[in-house]
Amino acid sequence: MSELLATQRAFAGAILNHQAEAGLLDFLAGNPEHNAALIAVYRGNAVANTLGALRLAYPVSEQVVGEECFAELARLYWRAHPPQSGDLNEYGEAFAAFITSVEEMTELPWLSDLARLEWAVHQASMTANHLPIGMAALAGLTPAQLAVSRLCLQPALQLIASDWPIASIWLQHQPNHEGELDLTGRGAEVALIHREELAAFVCSLPPCEASCIKALQAGCPLEQALCASADIDPQFDPSSFLQRAFAQELIIGITPGETP
């Protein structure tokens, strides 16, 4: 191992763990106490930068647990999962799983699922724009062609299934929400995260519509996806579902299938 690499590793270890500081001080010239104070400045900056990144990615989670608790979670997460990239927009992917390991968070069993939703929103906000197509694109297809066609969905689209009303929790913590937080009668939800123009959006989907989107994402022909959803819920309306999907800019392309 080169001396430079050894120094870099010692520096990284000292930043992450105060107890490892002595190993770095051996490499540094000058007054050890002064050097230790400088290392503490670096450590403080590292914590502050990663806390800022997590706050941007998980604003609702911070609202739920409070600033002080979230800051402590961020510090614990930083020690367990230090950044692996210079782009802090990529930092925080494992935060939802990490929350489940924190004993104090067991009082909020839905928090990790909420964090999964927020990470999907964060990813959607950074995904490159793809121009949507309108429902008029279906007009040139015969019913037989339409049945075997495949719809291409926007890359930002994700579905997050939870035993908790995570979409409702997220929506009721948005700045434009009016009224008190009310989750009365709300149970398990499937959250749809998608992008319209430059903004990420969240809504709750009934199981039949979530099933249809999953099937379309998997490349199933349109008729097969729609029929499977109708089997889940006889009230499923394929026409209304498609109108909403196009209106929400979920569809960015159509691949016509070959008819017999």
- pLDDT at residue 208 greater than cutoff 80: yes
The average pLDDT across 96-103 equals 94
Please state, in angstroms and as integers, the Cα–Cα distance from residue 13 to each residue in 25, 80, 115, 156, 190, following that order: 12, 12, 28, 36, 41
Interval 69-83: pLDDT, tens = 999 999 899 888 888
What pLDDT, on a 0 to 100 scale, did the predictor assign at position 37?
61
What pLDDT, on a 0 to 100 scale, did the predictor assign at position 123?
95
The average pLDDT across 138-163 equals 93
What pLDDT, on a 0 to 100 scale, did the predictor assign at position 251?
96
- pLDDT at residue 27 greater than cutoff 70: no
Query: What strands lie across the sheet with 199-205, from one edge to the other?
Result: 158-162, 189-196, 199-205
What pLDDT, on a 0 to 100 scale, did the predictor assign at position 197?
82
What pLDDT, on a 0 to 100 scale, did the predictor assign at position 44?
64
Q: DSSP states of 30-56 as a string? A: S-HHHHHHHHHHHHHHHHHHHHHHHHH
Would you list the domain boundaries of the chain? 1-108, 130-260
pLDDT > 70 in the chain, percent: 80
Hey, what amino acid is at 120?
A: A
Which pLDDT band, with edges at 50, 70 and 90, does 23 fall under? low
* Residue in the structure block whose two tokens are 């939800």: 189
CA-CA distance, 195 to 192, in Å (whole number)? 10
pLDDT > 90 in the chain, percent: 60
- pLDDT at residue 18 greater than cutoff 60: no
Query: Do 168 and 190 contact (CB within 8 A), yes or no?
Result: no
Q: Identify which of 165, 173, 162, 190 has the alpha carbon closest to the alpha carbon of residue 65.
A: 173
What pLDDT, on a 0 to 100 scale, did the predictor assign at position 48?
80
The average pLDDT across 146-169 equals 95
Query: Burial, 58: exposed, middle or buried (Cβ in 10 Å; 0-12, 13-18, 19+)?
Result: buried
Which pLDDT band, with edges at 50, 70 and 90, does 84 fall under? confident
Q: Which SS3 state, helix, strand or coil, does residue 258 take? A: coil
CA angle centred on 112, ends 103 and 105, rounded to 5°: 20
- The H or E element spanning position 199 is strand 199-205
